[in-house]
Every structure is written in C-alpha cells, then in structure tokens.
Amino acid sequence: MAAAPAASAAGRETGVGQPAVAGRSVVAFCCRECAYAAADASANARTSLPPTVRLVLMPCTGRVSPLHLLSALAEGADGVMVAGCLEGQCHYREGNFNAIDRVAFVQRLLKSVGVAPERCRMFTMSAGEPPKFVAAVKEMDRVIGGLPPLERSAVPAVARGAA
C-alpha cells in the first residue's frame, strides 16, 4: 500500500496505544474494493481524517468476524467501525450482507453486557465516494468522543489500552 491514508500514518507516528486526541481510538475495518479505495482517494486529495482512527485493510467486509470486533474493543479501541461496499455491490456478492448481520449481532452482544452498542457500527460506501468515507469516520469519531472511555477489567495481557 504505497499511498496509505494520511490519518493512519499520522496515528502510527504517535505510537500504538497512545492516540493523540483525548486518549480515544477508533479501529476501522475497511474493505479493499470500496472503503479502502475511498480512503486512499481521500488521502490523495489531502483530506484530513481524525487522528484517532486506525484503518485496517480487509479483503472484504465478509472477512470481519465478531472476534475481530470484540478483540479490537478488548485490546484498546474505544470504537470499531466496518466500512464496506454499498448493499448489493459487494465484489464477492454478499460479503457485506454477512458483515451487516455480524455487526448487528455484536451490537446486541455489547448491549446485553452493558456496553453502548454505538461502539460498533457498519458503514457502506462505494469506491468513488471519499467524502462519504470521511464523513463516516468523522461521525464515528464524534459518537465515540461523546461516550466515556471504555473500561476494561484488569487482565494482564491488555495493559496497553486500559490505562
């Protein structure tokens, strides 16, 4: 990925686990065909993304499993978002439908254990809509900024994001 989006590069400079803004961080799982392409395009257009977001490249949002989302939350992210193709336009036919249902499932899981379900959200966009991607990231960042930091129980392996 030669043209990695500017925001993720900026996030890397501040060091993992030390997000620049108010200690929060959002992990965005992006589908290679649409959302990551949109992120690339927005970076090429020098649109700035909130420095809290980290992009994770996925081959398709259908690859995202509840374990990705939950372990991201458990290991330091305050919010996770899944960004994929428009409904019906998945390059692998129905990967984004699977992702939509998995995200809905994780939201219900979070709700049942008392965590705000807004911490996990799904967005869809096409590759030609960088503004929509930027808007989705900003929306997610705004929502997470309004929530208190996610508290984690002390498990030795997670000291990183918990402090």
Partner 1 sequence: MPLTNRGRAILSRVPGGTLQSTVGVGCEIVRHEELCVGCGKCATNCPSGASERSETFDVYQLLDAPAGSRRGALGDALRRIMKHAPDGLVEVPARVTVLRTIAYDGEKCLGCGTCARGCPADAIEARPPKADAAPAAEMRA
Which residues 6+ apart lie within 8 Å of 161 measured at CB? 17, 25, 75, 76, 77, 152
**Cβ pair 30, 58 in contact under 8 A:** yes
The structure tokens 């686990």 sit at 17
Helix axes 66-74, 95-112, angle to 10 degrees: 40
Does the footprint of partner 1 cover residue 121 (CB under 8 A)?
no
User: What is the Cα–Cα distance from 30 to 20, expressed in whole angstroms?
Assistant: 22
* 88 is a site residue for partner 1 (CB under 8 A): no
Q: What mask of x and - would describe binding to partner 1 in positions 48 to 87, judged by CB under 8 A?
A: ------------------xx--xx-xxx------------
Q: Does 113 bind partner 1 (CB under 8 A)?
A: yes
Per-residue binding string, partner 1, 89-108, x by CB under 8 A, is --------xx-xxx-xx--x
Q: Could you tell me the smallest distance in angstroms from the CB atom of residue 21 to partner 1?
A: 21
Residues that bind partner 1 (CB under 8 A): 66-67, 70-71, 73-75, 97-98, 100-102, 104-105, 108-115, 150-153, 155, 158
